Amino acid sequence: MQNHEIDYIIHGEEMQYVEVELDPMETAIAEPGSFMMMEDGIQMETIFGDGSQQQGGLMNKLFSAGKRLLVGENLFVTAYTNVGQGKKRVSFAAPFPGKIIPLDLQQLGNRVICQKDAFLCAAKGVSIGIEFQKKLGTGLFGGEGFIMEKLEGDGMAFVHAGGHVTQRNLAMNELLKIDTGCIVAFTNSVYYDIQYVGGIKNTLFGGEGVFYATLRGPGTVWIQTLPISRLAGRILSYAGRRGGKEEGSILGGLGKLIDGDNSF
């Protein structure tokens, strides 16, 4: 293996964190802001890019860092190295309620495509890049746009998703239709496309958007029940409804009472 080998335990249910065990001189990399705690003897260092072996040279590092910006990640990652004696542990927490998904890249064809901003942490040597959607329709209407995140290597990587996560193993030519925002990740052998929902009533009043994603096997797909964009949209909608003038001007206190608000 070219990547560092790490052991791990995922703790919790709705608000999870992953505890990574490092042997002496082993290193894990993580997104800035995901750190939770670590034992004495682990050295923390901010590095430019993702620290993978594909980055040799300044221009390669700059190109790699630019790719990370396109997929919603930071220019820098934080490396945690065990410089002490014996095994040491460092833990990383997910930024919102959901699940942490462990991906053994060596068992998954050495490449997994995932949604932007999904990466949490990985063994040092895992490359974090971009995956362009080649078809115009998929890029424009696929929910994730032209650019998705690509994790490559032969080590462990961890991504996070909202709500509950289910894993589906697709057989050859087996087709699965999914809401575009519910896709977390899929293996490189899965064919990704989008499809028009169809029907004027479905389009105007269905409430599920105009397009959904199609994933065709063979391969493995991870699906989330609560995309963070959907959760954020509901919160913003509720905040606007609570603070908007239309409620006070038309219904006044009655509107708040119907909404269960006794604070007026």
Is residue 251 a part of any domain in this protein?
no
- Among left, alpha and beta (phi > 0; psi -120 to 50; other), residue 239 is alpha
Q: Rounded to the nearest 5°, which phi and psi values hold at 235?
A: -65, -45
pLDDT (0 to 100) of residue 254: 43
CA distance 10 to 17: 6
Total Cβ atoms within 10 A of residue 98 = 23
Domain count, the chain: 1
pLDDT (0 to 100) of residue 261: 53
Angstrom CA distances, 56 to 4, 26, 77, 103, 128, stand at 17, 20, 16, 25, 15
Angstrom CA distances, 22 to 45, 76, 103, 167, 240, stand at 15, 21, 17, 28, 47
Is residue 248 a part of any domain in this protein?
no
CA distance 29 to 81: 9
CATH of the domain at 224: 3.60.160.10
> pTM for the whole thing?
0.78
CA distance 24 to 211: 49
Instruction: List the pLDDT tens digit at each of the 264 positions of the chain.
Output: 678 889 999 999 888 999 999 999 999 999 888 999 999 999 999 887 777 754 555 566 666 655 556 555 567 789 999 999 999 999 999 888 899 999 999 999 999 999 888 899 999 999 888 776 555 444 444 444 446 888 999 999 999 999 999 999 999 999 999 888 899 999 999 998 877 765 554 444 444 556 788 899 999 999 999 888 777 777 887 777 665 554 444 445 544 544 445 544
Is residue 125 a part of any domain in this protein?
yes
Is residue 255 a part of any domain in this protein?
no
pLDDT tens digits, one per residue of 198-239: 555 444 444 455 678 889 999 999 999 988 877 777 788 777
pLDDT (0 to 100) of residue 63: 60
pLDDT (0 to 100) of residue 198: 58
pLDDT (0 to 100) of residue 89: 97
pLDDT (0 to 100) of residue 185: 95
- Among left, alpha and beta (phi > 0; psi -120 to 50; other), residue 17 is beta
Q: Which amino acid is at 110?
A: N
pLDDT (0 to 100) of residue 139: 45
Cβ distance 100 to 157 under 8 Å? Answer: no
- Structure letter (DSSP) for residue 11: E
Domain that holds residue 112: 7-231
Give the DSSP H or E segment for 35. Answer: strand 35-38
Q: Which amino acid is at 245?
A: K
Is residue 195 a part of any domain in this protein?
yes
Is residue 94 a part of any domain in this protein?
yes
Cβ distance 220 to 167 under 8 Å? Answer: yes
pLDDT (0 to 100) of residue 217: 96
pLDDT (0 to 100) of residue 247: 46
Is residue 163 a part of any domain in this protein?
yes
Q: Which two tokens stand for residue 144?
A: 């994730």
